[in-house]
Amino acid sequence: MNLTRTVSIMRKEMRHILRDRRAFVLVTVSPVFLLLVFAYSMSVEIKNVAIAILDYDQTTLSRRYRDGLASTGDIVIRYWPRDYAEMQSRLERRQAKAAVVIPAGFEEELLAGRETSLQVIVDGTDPSTANHTITHIAGYSQEVALEILSEALAREGIDVGQLSPIQLRMRTWYNPTLKAIIGWVPGLIAIVLGMPAVAATLALTAEKEKGTLEALITTPVQRSELIIGKLIPYVISGLFSAVLCALVGVFWLGTPFRGSPLLYVLLSADFFLAALSISLVISVFVPSQQAAMACAMLIFLFPGFFMSGLFYPIASMPPEMKMEAYMLPTTHYLTITRGLFLKGLDMSSLWPFAAALLAMGLGVTGVSIVTFKKRLG
Amino acid sequence: MLSRIWHIVNKELIHLRRDILLVSFLVLGPVLELVFIAWSTSSPIEHLPTAIVDRDNTALSRGLVVALENSETFDAGYYPANEEELASLLDAGSVSAGVVIPPGFGKDLSSPASQSIQVQVILDGSDPTAARAAEMSARGVIESYAYRELLQNWGYLGGRLGGVIRTDYRVWFNEELSEANYTVPSEMGFMLEMVALMIAAISIARERELGTFEKLMVTPIRSWELIVGKAIPAVVISYFDFLIMLGITIFVFGVPMKGSLPLLLVLALFYIFVELGWGLLISGFSRTQLQALLLVMMLYMVGMVFSGYAFPVDTMPPLMQAAANLVPIKHWLLVMRDIMLKGAGINMFWKELVALAVLGIIINSVTLTVLRKRLD
């Protein structure tokens, strides 16, 4: 391998990147833009779930139940249907996500110490909202039952003290307020940085489609020089985006950065090496930019989004898919960014992920050097 | 006129036939991807590795541990001796949640006069989805366990049973609350959007990059004929993908099809036209395929945020909620869910259809004007 030849390939590639200015700006700035759009619009909080209440009882107790239900802000009582049919249409039209039917005799039964049943109807099309609403209503109903019981006991002269005896102390570490932006930014950075990798796949294939690869083949450049020379500029441009994203994440969006910035740059380079080596392999096998694009999207974009653990914890996936998830560079990089930004981890806990990325990067680059023939077709 | 359109269609088909790899990516790629993604995400968020520190160690605290272990959400694989050990488990990412039962828990629970019974739940906030699911589930499990015990004790003390409010749940539209019924149709929507956008966006950009565009310009083809000619193969491929994916959604993942299938089939075509407009617009603005690709990816990811798939649109800031209405896929996912899960007719989702139609008309007329300016 000759360093001068590698460097000239690098310079040629750099010039390609810089010449298409619009693409260059898109590649480096779009991750930041996406980061901002995501950060400002996402929250996992399920709040203000609109419900309808159909109160057949209309007593002091049923009113008390109704009023307390909406007090935490998780649920908003938006509709007071007159009959079952109206309630049904509210649910069908998606105006209400759930409905509570308080039966006639609710108060009477409860005060007599008997069992009474509330009917709760939830719209199951969105299961997580549905589950949340069910948990909330069930917990609240138990609380009301306890309140009434303790009041009844107090009347009989047995003082059992105040209400809500369970204190669940929920503490969320690394992101104490579960504030959406802080929790999401590190993971999102890992995802949006897949964009430079997809772009590189296309840029690497362009040479083939335009026929300039023939010109390269006639030069004395060796395949390892060609491949390494082509990879490095994209790693550099990717790192530029990575640093930009981190700066925006920390200074604009207010995400903490608790780890070492140097480690972030190093491990990001590690990630780009792994991701770009996959881009390179695709570009070796695929004839046109269109096909390269389809292929890169299928490898980076979708799995990066859905299977890297960003939206959906890997622990909950079926075992076969867990393996698949660990084969994606983004999965490991996501663990790294979360660890660096939020947990302040160092290499002693991050090394397995860094090693996985390095192994992918070196392995796949090796494969592409071996399989890339300096010929056409 | 028709023959000129047909020539363009034919030309596109020849391109596709030459690039068999591309066609297989376009047709099989989304289908395979749907299977993978739907398979990975179709169960509820469960089996989160959990550490339990039981510092009470009484019958009642052990009862709570069993209740937690029996819940689907938590896989209690770790029993650290103290909080420091728990902290290092959370740091390493070995567990996503920890539950600490303090000493005196059992005593407090069995003596009715005590003021506060404490249980501590620690969540790994760096994974917000898992944290949220764990929080909800922990609340449900711990509260219902404690309330059950308390009601028993107190009711007994009063010499009678306490009045119990039983909540009878009925889930409508997705009776078994299956996660797959929600995720799989949405993911199918994303795949469809991607195929439609990608084919359309690259079609004209490619001609321009390779310099064949000039040749088209000297032919008597009019701009709208070119656009229609380019759109037809894109529609055919996208629709074909849609049919296969719909089959997989229904037959492999068992998502019910309660509404009218013909209605869904017609509306899918309608939706594809709206997305194609976006794709062609991008195509008109891009000089190279790389630019087109980058714009598609941005549009696509923005669509994903506003689609309501991962984050409820209702809780977004008002400005973002308004922006969400400009995203075709948001409306399409609602329509698809209404038809498939609710068996609804047009009267239930006409608003979404109007929104889609308005978007389609605006996008496609902008596309036509922009492309006409570039072409003529």
B165-199 pLDDT tens trace: 766 777 777 777 677 888 888 889 998 998 888 88
The residue type found at A255 is T
Query: Distance between the two ends of chain A, CA-based, in angstroms?
Result: 25
d(CA B182, CA B236): 27
Computed over every residue of chain B, the mean pLDDT equals 83
Q: What is the pLDDT of residue A262?
A: 94
| CB-CB under 8 Å, A161 with B169 | no
What is the mean predicted confidence (pLDDT) over A173-193? 74
CA closest to A311 among chain B residues: B129
| CB-CB under 8 Å, A44 with B48 | no
Residues in chain A with CB shorter than 8 Å from the CB of B163 are: 109-116, 145, 148-149, 152
Q: What is the pLDDT of residue A266?
A: 94
> How many CB atoms within 10 Å of residue B94?
13
Nearest C-alpha of chain B: how many angstroms from A295? 7
Q: What percent of chain B has pLDDT over 70?
A: 93
Segment holding A266, helix H or strand E: helix A261-285
Per the CB < 8 A criterion, the answer to whether B173 and B341 are in contact is: yes
What is the mean predicted confidence (pLDDT) over B309-333? 83
Would you say the C-alpha torsion B264, B270, B273, B275 has a positive or negative sign?
negative
Tokens of A244: 């930009």
SS3 content of chain B, % helix, strand, coil (to 5): 70, 10, 20
Mutate to test the interface with B, among A150, A166, A350 (most CBs of B within 10 A): A166
Mutate to test the interface with A, among B230, B290, B300, B316 (most CBs of A within 10 A): B290
Q: What is the pLDDT of residue B4?
A: 84
What is the mean predicted confidence (pLDDT) over A293-307? 81
For chain A, say whether B178 makes contact (Cβ under 8 Å): yes
Per the CB < 8 A criterion, the answer to whether A130 and B179 are in contact is: no
d(CA B21, CA A282): 12
What is the mean predicted confidence (pLDDT) over B135-139? 85
Per-residue pLDDT band at A170 (split at 50, 70, 90):
low
CA closest to B293 among chain A residues: A293
Q: What is the pLDDT of residue A172?
A: 66
For chain A, say whether B163 makes contact (Cβ under 8 Å): yes
A294: nearest CB among B26, B295, B320: B26
Residues in chain A with CB shorter than 8 Å from the CB of B150 are: 146, 165
What is the mean predicted confidence (pLDDT) over A167-171? 66
Least confident of A104-108, A172-176, A279-283, B243-247: A172-176
Per the CB < 8 A criterion, the answer to whether B339 and B260 are in contact is: yes
Computed over every residue of chain A, the mean pLDDT equals 82
Least confident of A219-228, A256-265, B63-72, B287-296: A219-228
Per-residue pLDDT band at B264 (split at 50, 70, 90):
very high
In chain B, which among 219-278 make CB contacts under 8 A with chain A? none
Mutate to test the interface with A, among B165, B181, B192, B285 (most CBs of A within 10 A): B165
Q: What is the pLDDT of residue A267?
A: 94
pLDDT greater than 70 at residue A131: yes
Q: What is the pLDDT of residue B20?
A: 80
| CB-CB under 8 Å, B45 with A316 | yes
| CB-CB under 8 Å, A318 with B135 | no
pLDDT greater than 80 at residue B246: yes
Could you tell me if residue A26 is left (phi over 0), alpha (psi between -120 and 50 degrees) or otherwise beta?
A: alpha
d(CA B189, CA A165): 46
Mutate to test the interface with B, among A97, A108, A175, A306 (most CBs of B within 10 A): A306
Q: What is the pLDDT of residue A202?
A: 82
d(CA B48, CA B70): 12
Residue with tokens 């997705």: B174
CA closest to B116 among chain A residues: A165
B173: nearest CB among A118, A123, A169: A123
User: A365 or A247, which is more confident?
Assistant: A247
Per-residue pLDDT band at B242 (split at 50, 70, 90):
very high
The residue type found at B61 is S
Question: Where do the domains of chain B lie?
Answer: 2-42+178-375, 48-157
Residues of chain A with CATH 3.40.1710.10: 49-155
Report residue B100: phi and psi, to 5°: -115, 120
Residue with tokens 């689907």: B72
Per-residue pLDDT band at B6 (split at 50, 70, 90):
confident
| CB-CB under 8 Å, B289 with A125 | no
Mutate to test the interface with A, among B31, B37, B40 (most CBs of A within 10 A): B40
A256-297 pLDDT, tens digit per residue, is 898 899 999 999 999 999 998 888 888 888 878 888 888 888
Nearest C-alpha of chain A: how many angstroms from B357? 19
What is the mean predicted confidence (pLDDT) over A110-134? 82
Nearest C-alpha of chain A: how many angstroms from B369? 22
Report residue A99: phi and psi, to 5°: -140, 145
Q: Which residues contact B302 (CB under 8 A, 6 or more apart)?
A: A34, A37, B327
Angle at B149 between CA B144 and CA B155, to 5 degrees: 115
A80 to A62, A69, A83, A85, B28: CA distances (angstroms): 13, 14, 9, 12, 49
| CB-CB under 8 Å, B117 with A167 | yes
Segment holding A52, helix H or strand E: strand A49-55
Q: Which residues contact B361 (CB under 8 A, 6 or more apart)?
A: none
B154: nearest CB among A114, A150, A343: A150
pLDDT greater than 70 at residue A175: no
| CB-CB under 8 Å, B341 with A316 | no
Residues in chain A with CB shorter than 8 Å from the CB of B153 are: none
Q: Are strands B117-124 and B97-101 parallel, antiparallel or unpaired?
A: antiparallel
Could you tell me which CATH number the domain at A49-155 has? 3.40.1710.10
Q: What is the pLDDT of residue A160?
A: 59
* Beta-ladder partners of B75: B49
Interface A-B: count of C-beta contacts within 8 A: 406
d(CA B139, CA B145): 10
Nearest C-alpha of chain B: how many angstroms from A354? 14
| CB-CB under 8 Å, B147 with A146 | yes
Q: What pTM did the predictor assign?
A: 0.81
Nearest C-alpha of chain B: how many angstroms from A121? 5
DSSP-assigned states of every residue in B161-221: PPP-EEEEEEEESSTT--HHHHHHHHHHHHHHHHHHHHHHHHHHHHHHHHT-HHHHHHSS-
| CB-CB under 8 Å, A119 with B170 | yes
Nearest C-alpha of chain A: how many angstroms from B51? 14
Strand order in the sheet with A49-55: A75-79, A49-55, A98-102, A116-123, B165-172
What is the mean predicted confidence (pLDDT) over A209-235? 79
| CB-CB under 8 Å, A116 with B143 | no
d(CA A344, CA A329): 21
For chain A, say whether B146 makes contact (Cβ under 8 Å): yes
pLDDT greater than 70 at residue B93: yes
Nearest C-alpha of chain A: how many angstroms from B32? 9
For B364, half-sphere exposure in the C-beta direction (CA atoms, 13 angstrom radius) is 18
d(CA B12, CA B15): 5
Mutate to test the interface with B, among A16, A29, A33, A44 (most CBs of B within 10 A): A44
Residues in chain A with CB shorter than 8 Å from the CB of B146 are: 165-166
Per CATH, the architecture of B48-157 is what? 3-Layer(aba) Sandwich (3.40)
Per-residue pLDDT band at A354 (split at 50, 70, 90):
very high
| CB-CB under 8 Å, A289 with B206 | yes
Strands (E), chain A: 49-55, 75-79, 98-102, 116-123, 166-173
B95-133 pLDDT, tens digit per residue, is 888 999 888 888 877 765 556 678 888 888 888 888 888
Q: What is the pLDDT of residue B157?
A: 52
CA–chain centroid gap for B161, Å, is 46
